[in-house]
Structure 1
Amino acid sequence: MKHQQVLDKLAAREIVQAMNEDVARWTGRQMSYRGLSHAEVERAVVPPLLARWRCLLDDADAPAQDVGWVALATLLHKYGFQDGAVTTGALASVDGLNRRVVLSDAFERQSPAIKALLRSAPTPLTRRPRSPRTVTFLRPGDVVSVRLAGRFHAAFVHELHGANEFPVIEFYAGSFSRAPTMAQLADRPAARAGGRARFGVVGLTYLPDPARQVVALASGHSQAPYGDGPQAGDGLWTLTDIIELPQVTAGLFDADRE
């Protein structure tokens, strides 16, 4: 049983493609740091990826959750990683997909081989994986809700970098217990942490987001978060990745919670 055979049988091309892009991009970035052991790379890869896909894995309907667990375990294994909790979740999800008759008869017949693959020791990569081309389907004027560490935050897309490579966003001040409405964002200032913060976010690609972390609130919106533009010395924006957004935005939303 090959990894791609498992992924093809999940019949979830959008989830598999987006998750593979995240795993490949983040794995390549961690492997670029010299001197890290495979175990250190694995520890740097798995928890942030779990956080990125947590909305799908925890909050989606049962079939989508099951597909997500199997896809994540398979892709981690493909790139040389294995996590006990992810593997356990994936093995249970194989049974769940079969019990609910979600996928094909071929998936059910080959479930023992799928489980055997996921239980087996993965082969560590000897070189960085090829990174997928960065592209975004967001557009200037889009307003999105981004779930970070269990809270919801709104962001405005100012521009796209390069040939639609990634969006440059700015967060509205405050955090919310659920995705905010546009009425809640009216005349709301920009989030600040020392200076006004804008981010170029690689991996902020799809709407709807297969990971369900990012939700569209509006498109073609003309009003950015209230406040002046970047000041001298602030820099125009900070380059980051959607997987590390919880870290780079820490402290940005502490003032207001709604």
Structure 2
Amino acid sequence: MKHQQVLDKLAAKGHVRALDEELARWVHWQMVTPLPSHEELTRDVVTPVLTRWRCLLDSEEARPATRNVVRVALATLLHKYGFQDPAVTAAAVEAVDALNRDVVLSDAFARRSDDIKRLLCSAPVPLTRRPGSPRSLTFLRPGDVLSIELGGRFHAAYVWKVHGLNETPVIEFYAGTFAQPPTLADLADGEAARPGGRARFGVDGLTYLPDPANQVRAVAAGQDQGPRGGEPGPGQGLYTLSDVMTLQRNMADLFGGEIPGSGS
């Protein structure tokens, strides 16, 4: 059975497309430098992907069927790009059974379930060349205010501009973290997380809103005022180049703490 045959049966084109784009871009950049061992490369690829998508997989707001479909898609796409995580694979196998038990997908999916499980449990073939990196695209707009989750805490960010033809948003984080997605009232007259433009990032791959991974949420749109005090001074860079996966490391550095580890 082929990976695309599995993905086509999941009836979740938006989630599959977003996951595929993010993995292609992330694996592409991880393979630019001289490759570490495959075990190290697997860790470097898988951990931030799981951290981001856990915002959906652990969410009580998301439908169980959606979470199970994404579990299967995640294991399938990791396998497609030559990676495997035992916890992810085990969760996907359980998700296949749950999807069949709840009659969520088609008869074709149910008939091929054993083949799907065999594919996911088989040893993946490591890539010998970098996958193509998809063009950066964003549906965010200047003046958008966002909530971005990391490790169960929520951080607010403001979209200052979008570079290119709807390509790369430049965001700036507000100071402070929140136990739940902040409201616009929580951010009234809010200051930047750090002065001198050090809380500003140009983020490739920050594409969709609503975010399929449930990590990024809309707080407000069309706001004229962003965080105060973050304007870069003479000789300081305007912003730091990043991407949707590396942004999690940027956030951990900015607000303190560690990126959560992998798991199911």
User: If the length of structure 1 is used for normalisation, what is the TM-score?
Assistant: 0.95
Residues 111-158 of structure 1 show CA distances to partners (whole Å, capped at 9, x for unaligned) of: 000001001111110000011111101010111100012210010000
Distance in 1, Cα, partners of 2:23 & 2:141: 24
Residues 203-232 of structure 1 show CA distances to partners (whole Å, capped at 9, x for unaligned) of: 110000000000011111111112251112
Q: For residue 149 of structure 2, what is the aligned residue in structure 1?
A: 147
CA contact (8 A) 1:69 1:89 kept: yes
Cα drift, residue 253 of structure 1: 3.1
Question: Residues 38 and 187 of structure 1: is their aligned pair in 2 closer, same or farther, counting only changes over 3 Å?
Answer: same
Q: For residue 97 of structure 1, what is the aligned residue in structure 2?
A: 99
Choose from 242, 248, 251 the match for 1:249. Answer: 251
Distance in 1, Cα, partners of 2:245 & 2:253: 17
- CA RMSD between the two structures: 1.3
The one-letter amino acid paired with 1:48 is P
- Equivalent residue runs for 1:1-258 within 5 Å: 1-59=1-59, 60-192=62-194, 196-227=198-229, 229-253=231-255
Moved over 6 A (4+): none
**Could you tell which deviates more after superposition, 32-41 or 200-209?**
32-41
Structure 1 unaligned blocks of 5 or more: none
Cα drift, residue 35 of structure 1: 3.9
The one-letter amino acid paired with 1:192 is R
- The count of corresponding residues between Structure 1 and Structure 2 is 254
Residues 23-61 of structure 1 show CA distances to partners (whole Å, capped at 9, x for unaligned) of: 111111111111423222111101111001111111122
**Could you tell which deviates more after superposition, 36-45 or 131-140?**
36-45
Distance in 2, Cα, partners of 1:193 & 1:52: 27
CA contact (8 A) 1:141 1:220 kept: yes
CA contact (8 A) 1:143 1:156 kept: yes
Distance in 2, Cα, partners of 1:117 & 1:251: 38
Structure 2 unaligned blocks of 5 or more: 257-264
CA contact (8 A) 2:168 2:203 kept: yes
CA contact (8 A) 2:145 2:223 kept: yes
Cα drift, residue 251 of structure 1: 4.3
Q: Secondary structure at the match of 2:245?
A: helix
The one-letter amino acid paired with 1:15 is H
